[in-house]
Amino acid sequence: MNAPIVSVRNLSHRYSVQWAIKDINFELASNGIYGLLGANGAGKSTIMNIICGVVKQTDGEVIIRGINLADQPVNAKKHIGFLPQQAPLQKDLTVEEYLVHCARMRLMPEHTIKAAVTEVMEKTTITHFRKRLISNLSGGYQQRVGIAQAIIHKPDFVVLDEPTNGLDPNQILEVRALIKEIAQEHTVILSTHILQEVQALCDHIWMINEGNMIFSGTLEEFDNYIVPNKLVVALVAHPAAEELLSVPGVEAVEELGGARYRVRFSDAQETIERLVQTSVQKNWRLIEIGLEKNSIETVFTELSKKKSK
């Protein structure tokens, strides 16, 4: 494993008396899109604000490229790009004026700024709007400007807090495509409560519930978190449900129409073998058999019942 880009160790935070997050730990070592998933109020923004140096944690540490964020915030922040939930746009500036301003705030050398602004406008496809006031752009384009300010200084990792919130369906797809492009060159941490967003974008998922990390794994591991206990079978001969129920291992049968059935079982291997054998013996003409995965919503609900990892 390469040296981590970000290490978060034993991170806890309390607003007045109530703990918002408790003992969060993770490391990022490679490019890709990491999804921070959780219901409203789970603690996502608190984690993002802390790793971007906007909020100071109560306990624990954030190490960025080997630099402790609390000890050397200016150096550490050079490696971070941040698009908070409310994009920090100055809407009375043009796109170009605003990005120049952001580059200066990032302490980029003056002679590098013009080229960096040109490059980032191209990357986020906003060059044709460079002279337009940000207030006159659509929500989707304002979000592109927000992403442009987050990557103008070429940070190692980019933190996007609910980046598609409030956008229409077309704008959502466009911004997601842009995030995928950005992830080719940067490590992206994305916070969201939209499960389809995680499915569409993320390589790795952390799930937070009531301030605790309750899951960390790949999208595939998330999908398979609950072991399937149902099969979908299609039998052209369309036998009665009672006949299927008599096959050893079958616990329940639901007719789905079109000669398809949902079959609940306790042992997948045994039930599949018995169903195939019986189908051949009784000439049911089996044309489809496969495990039915649980929906991402079911996995989310099931995981939400857990207290911590």
Ligand X SMILES: Nc1ncnc2c1ncn2[C@@H]1O[C@H](COP(=O)(O)OP(=O)(O)OP(=O)(O)O)[C@@H](O)[C@H]1O
Residues near ligand X, by CB under 6 A: 15, 20, 38, 40-46, 193
Closest CB to ligand X among residues 43, 146: 43
Q: Looking at beta carbons only, is 36 or 64 nearer to ligand X?
A: 36
Which amino acid is residue 172, in one-letter code? I
- What is d(CA 150, CA 161) in angstroms, rounded to the nearest whole number? 11
Distance CA 148, CA 139 (A): 14
Bridge partners of residue 230, in order along the sequence: 264
Closer Cβ to ligand X, 42 or 190, answer by number: 42
Q: Distance (Å, rounded) from C-alpha 225 to C-alpha 289?
A: 21
Q: Which residues contact 52 (CB under 8 A, 6 or more apart)?
A: 77, 80, 82, 84, 159
User: At closest approach, how far in Å is the CB of 170 from ligand X?
Assistant: 23
Beta strands 187-192; 32-37: pairing state: parallel
Q: Considering beta carbons, is residue 41 or 290 the nearer one to ligand X?
A: 41
Closer residue to ligand X in complex, CB, 36/178: 36
User: Cβ of residue 207: shortest distance to ligand X, in angstroms?
Assistant: 11
> To the nearest whole angstrom, how small is the minimum distance from the Cβ of residue 46 to ligand X?
3
Q: Report in angstroms how near the CB of residue 216 gets to ligand X at its nearest.
A: 16
Read off the tokens for 230: 């149902």
Looking at the Cβ atoms of 42 and 263, the one nearer to ligand X is 42
Q: How far is the CB of 19 from ligand X (least distance, A)?
A: 8
Cβ neighbours for 77, distance < 8 A, ≥ 6 positions apart: 52, 53, 69
Q: Which is nearer to ligand X, 126 or 201 (CB)?
A: 201
Whether the CB-CB separation of 62 and 70 falls below 8 Å is answered with: yes
Q: Find the shortest distance in angstroms from Cβ 81 to ligand X.
A: 19
Least Å distance between CB 16 and ligand X? Answer: 6
- Shortest approach of ligand X to residue 45 CB, angstroms? 3
> Which of residues 65 and 309 has its CB atom nearest to ligand X in the complex?
309
